[in-house]
Structure 1
Amino acid sequence: MNASHKKLPLTLFLSLLSTTSFATTGYFMHGYGVKAQGNAGTSIAQFQDALTIANNPAGLSWIGSRVDVGATVFSPDRSAQISGNQMPQGYPNANGSYDGNGRKYFVLPEVALNHQINDQVALGLAIYGNGGMNTGYKNNPFAAFGNSGTAGVDLTQVFISPAVSWKYAENQSVGIATNILYQRFEAKGITAFAGYSADGSNLSNRGKDSATGIGARIGWAGNFFDDRLTLGVNYSSKINADRFEKYQGLFAEQGDFDVPESYGIGVAVKVTPKLTLAADVQRINYSDVNAVGNRFDVAQLKQGHAFGTDQGPGFGWEDINVYKLGVSYQAHPKLTLRAGYSHNDQPIPSSEAFLNILALGVIQDHLSVGATYHIDQRQELSVAYTHALEDEVKGQISPAFGGGESKLKMSQDILGVSYGYKF
């Protein structure tokens, strides 16, 4: 590998640190790699480029030596509405519609490479965004409760993942990737809730803070019936990350914000030499991370479980299943077409709608299309477009905050472009 190839991942990683990712399956990406995005994320048993490291590292044994570089543009539309709120006499209520689009466009780069050492061993490296969340309210939804200024959160998660895959049989392989995590977070506009925190000075408006962690992703793949049937499974461990010290008064367990475990199974069937159907089922265990899964319960706040304590409030997200279906068609020797649909359970229950005004991860459905143009035997260009259908969650507000109802709403458009080169 020459020097320019060695510098590329580092350069892109530095770029990733200065950008904000945005995800739609809760706060995970709906698909890793532009080709997978064209299939609505279907990728556990369908290996199309070196970004398979982020999906199923066992797939490295089946793609040959290559490098893939891409970028995805996200354009989310997020908003919240509060109605029926009645604060005590003499205090303003929180009723109104709130635009959470403080920033409208997000660019997320990705890079991955694979080197086939021999017939059995492949080594790879990927740098990509695991996911994230962003809201920005110029008109603060919590102003009626004493807060001022803009409100919102900004979460970015980036992985550096070296990987190895071993083809231990003619038709089967296993792979493992080390997930080195860098994450960054900022919260604004909720300083007046300091009285509900164990450390009110580290609750809000503390600027950006970062944390790191390390975990693993393992996978298995098998090709059967003359490669007409491919099966795959993957598992990503929970990552116990460092604490966000500047926000130890916000997140449960003194600022601890881990990455939840996830796992899945996939199948790809080559119906004809030109047509492939693929399906994945994935599980994301958000509730295992207290900062995300703990419920926001006003009664518990009064019983000593304040923000920042071990059993303090989180966003109340529930574990979800994700179902993906993709189709690929070789329309021409130089042109591959893709489409896909995915659906996931709703991570935010109605009872948690009030606090999740800050974290609008309500999307459940994605429709995707994509294509790859093969420039020559070594080079290819891919594009994918996804529309995340608008979804909403409604829930009652605690009488302690004046009652009424909060409604969360979000949709998103996603455009990805990538270049692949085979060695």
Structure 2
Amino acid sequence: MKALLFKVVTIGIVLTLFTPLNAAATNGMNMEGYGPISCGMGGASMAFDNGSAAMMNNPATLALMPPGSARLDLALGMLGPNVNSSVRTPGGLFSANSDADAFFMPALGFVKNNGKLTFGVAAFAQGGMGTEFGADSWMSDPSMGANSALTAGLVNRTEVSMGRVLLPLTYRIDDQLSIGGSFDVLWAGMDLQMAMSEAQFQDLVTTQSIGAASGSLVQGFGALYEPFGGAGVSTLHHAYFDFSNDNAFTGEARGYGVAGKLGMVYQFNNDLSVGATYHTRSAMSDMETENAILSMGVKMDTGIASGGSPSGVYQDMNIPVSGSITVENFEWPETYGIGLAYRPTSSLLFAADVKRINWAAVMEDFTMTFEADAVAENGAFSDLALNTTLYQNWKNQTVVSLGGEFAPTLRLRLRAGVNLSENPVPSQFLNSLFPAIVSNHLAFGAGYRIADRSVVNFSFFRAFEVTETNAGNGSTIPAVSSSHDQLNYSLMVTQEF
């Protein structure tokens, strides 16, 4: 039996590692909760037994399992974001819906309680962001029809994901106090297809209100770009960053790292308990890929384009530059929280958590460096570098989770809750490709014991629509509004031993 269980856990974790862990998360980039027991109660989890998902919440609550017991949790979550982006121009109002409207995320956890010690292993998706606006959206041509060389629209797409393999250990000090922690191995992936307008590029280089761009590639392009005093390029129709593999299993740019968690839970009596946890900031490598393209749609002098003298004749054309991308200093924030659980009767449970997510320390900027390949096909841009920063300036976020559970029978449990927070993204720096603006959620869930040692749990989360507007600069960069609401589902099957 032990050998079979080991094989099941090993195979499950391997499958989880090689299954997409993209997420459209709803507490910033974090999920609103982990595991359907917690999610069904609004994400509350700090002070009661909520299964192997405790490794993502408060690992100390693993000690609340019955002594000598073990459990294997297999879960599947479906995230359904509904994201819209709209812009008002002299030509009218244009609106686009994101095609990225369903993400499936598996999770697996095994936990064994040996009395004083509890240990296990699990793989979970941490969270992320993702949108996709197709080749027919208003974002697909930043020149708004002026670029005759653009024969097909540009897809604008992001997928940012973070996953963890967790190794927890808890210790029951006495009948009331338990402590615990986990060592987490992290992996992150990113796909990005992002088109920028001429006005946005000029801002990055000159006024730098939305970000900053520098490096030898900027200098090389500036020598050609007539608005910057160069000669040869009269108009930049767009700049397009493209590193995306369209792979369901991993992002094109990847990074790896570690993090950890500490927690405690104190049981005043059989009815009342309090828990607290601290999650460290991650320590990640930069996300990197050698398969990136920076393309520039330009109106360029045909003589200079062919390597000769100026002809005075300008033509729309596309300049693709191959190279590598490094996404720098992408980290997951530290989090700390405290929670309370109270059982007024054997069939009722109420729980309340408050946690703080320190986004400000890790989401000040989104920074990437493009290094052009040293190949003849890249022409004058060969071996040059572009450093690009998009300002984010996220605010720290306080999340309140309130929930309850009612057991009308010995086999059935019904759950409900709310998850309340504030939008951490300043409207000044809101980008349609990085929506993380929803704040308030309503949750429902249920659990049913289908056999003596088998349980099924389900949760449903509704994130209510939020609309925010980036006002632009009032002239060349128009105001863009983004709206985001979401439906999340989670199903977990538990086998107890």
Deviation at 1:352, TM superposition (A): 1.7
Contact 1:54 1:126 in 2 (8 A): no
> Which one-letter code corresponds to 2:83 in the other structure?
R
Q: Which residue of 2 aligns with 1:416?
A: 490
Q: Which residue of 1 aligns with 2:3?
A: 2
2:229 matches 1:233 = no
**Distance of 1:130 and 1:111 partners within structure 2:** 13
Deviation at 1:115, TM superposition (A): 0.8
Q: Deviation per CA, 1:167-221, whole angstroms, max 9, x where unpaired?
A: 1121111101011101100100326667743467998212211100101011000
Q: Deviation per CA, 1:265-291, whole angstroms, max 9, x where unpaired?
A: 1001112221111001111111111xx
Q: Which residue of 1 aligns with 2:364?
A: 293
Equivalent positions of 1:243-254 (< 5 A) are 243-246=286-289
2:176 matches 1:171 = yes
Q: Which residue of 1 aligns with 2:396?
A: 319
Equivalent positions of 1:106-255 (< 5 A) are 106-117=103-114, 119-138=115-134, 139-141=137-139, 143-144=141-142, 148-190=153-195, 196=204, 197-198=213-214, 204-207=241-244, 208-224=252-268, 226-246=269-289, 255=328
> Which one-letter code corresponds to 2:288 in the other structure?
E
Q: Which residue of 2 aligns with 1:384?
A: 459
Q: Deviation per CA, 1:13-56, whole angstroms, max 9, x where unpaired?
A: 44454322221111111111111111111101122212111101
Q: Secondary structure at the match of 1:141?
A: helix
In structure 2, relative to structure 1, the CA distance for the partners of 1:75 and 1:295 (3 Å cut) is closer
**Distance of 1:380 and 1:136 partners within structure 2:** 37
Higher normalized strand content (fraction of residues): 2
**Distance of 2:408 and 2:366 partners within structure 1:** 50
**Distance of 1:262 and 1:249 partners within structure 2:** 36
Q: Which residue of 2 aligns with 1:42?
A: 44
Contact 1:249 1:255 in 2 (8 A): no
Deviation at 1:96, TM superposition (A): 1.4
In structure 2, relative to structure 1, the CA distance for the partners of 1:104 and 1:313 (3 Å cut) is closer
**Distance of 1:69 and 1:378 partners within structure 2:** 14
Identity of aligned residues (%): 22
Q: Secondary structure at the match of 2:242?
A: coil
In structure 2, relative to structure 1, the CA distance for the partners of 1:205 and 1:253 (3 Å cut) is closer
| Further displaced range: 102-111 or 361-370 | 102-111
Deviation at 1:136, TM superposition (A): 0.1
Q: Which residue of 1 aligns with 2:334?
A: 261
Contact 2:393 2:426 in 1 (8 A): yes
Contact 2:264 2:275 in 1 (8 A): yes
In structure 2, relative to structure 1, the CA distance for the partners of 1:13 and 1:194 (3 Å cut) is farther
CA RMSD of aligned residues (A): 2.8
**Distance of 2:386 and 2:407 partners within structure 1:** 54
Contact 1:341 1:365 in 2 (8 A): yes
Contact 1:287 1:294 in 2 (8 A): no
2:435 matches 1:360 = yes
> Which one-letter code corresponds to 1:23 in the other structure?
A
1:63 counterpart (40, 65, 85): 65
Q: Which residue of 1 aligns with 2:349?
A: 276
In structure 2, relative to structure 1, the CA distance for the partners of 1:143 and 1:16 (3 Å cut) is farther
Q: Which residue of 2 aligns with 1:394?
A: 469
Contact 2:337 2:354 in 1 (8 A): yes
Structure 1: stretches of 5+ with no match in the other structure: 87-92, 297-305
In structure 2, relative to structure 1, the CA distance for the partners of 1:203 and 1:53 (3 Å cut) is farther
In structure 2, relative to structure 1, the CA distance for the partners of 1:236 and 1:209 (3 Å cut) is same
> Which one-letter code corresponds to 1:243 in the other structure?
D
Deviation at 1:125, TM superposition (A): 1.2
Contact 2:287 2:326 in 1 (8 A): no
Calculate the TM-score normalised by the size of structure 1: 0.86
Pairs aligned (count): 396
In structure 2, relative to structure 1, the CA distance for the partners of 1:94 and 1:154 (3 Å cut) is farther
| Further displaced range: 369-378 or 231-240 | 369-378
Q: Which residue of 2 aligns with 1:80?
A: 85
**Distance of 1:18 and 1:209 partners within structure 2:** 16
Q: Which residue of 2 aligns with 1:97?
A: 95
Q: Which residue of 1 aligns with 2:413?
A: 336
> Which one-letter code corresponds to 1:294 in the other structure?
D
Deviation at 1:5, TM superposition (A): 3.2
Deviation at 1:156, TM superposition (A): 1.1
| Further displaced range: 127-136 or 186-195 | 186-195
In structure 2, relative to structure 1, the CA distance for the partners of 1:254 and 1:183 (3 Å cut) is closer
Deviation at 1:12, TM superposition (A): 4.0
Contact 1:38 1:370 in 2 (8 A): yes
Q: Deviation per CA, 1:43-88, whole angstroms, max 9, x where unpaired?
A: 01122212111101101111142111110111111011112x46xx
In structure 2, relative to structure 1, the CA distance for the partners of 1:4 and 1:273 (3 Å cut) is closer
Which of structures 1 and 2 has the bigger CA Rg?
A: 2
Q: Which residue of 2 aligns with 1:90?
A: none
2:422 counterpart (341, 345, 365): 345
> Which one-letter code corresponds to 2:412 in the other structure?
L
> Which one-letter code corresponds to 1:71 in the other structure?
L
Deviation at 1:333, TM superposition (A): 0.7
In structure 2, relative to structure 1, the CA distance for the partners of 1:308 and 1:223 (3 Å cut) is farther
Deviation at 1:155, TM superposition (A): 0.8
Q: Deviation per CA, 1:342-400, whole angstroms, max 9, x where unpaired?
A: 111111122122xx211111111111111111123311111111111111112310247
Contact 2:154 2:195 in 1 (8 A): no
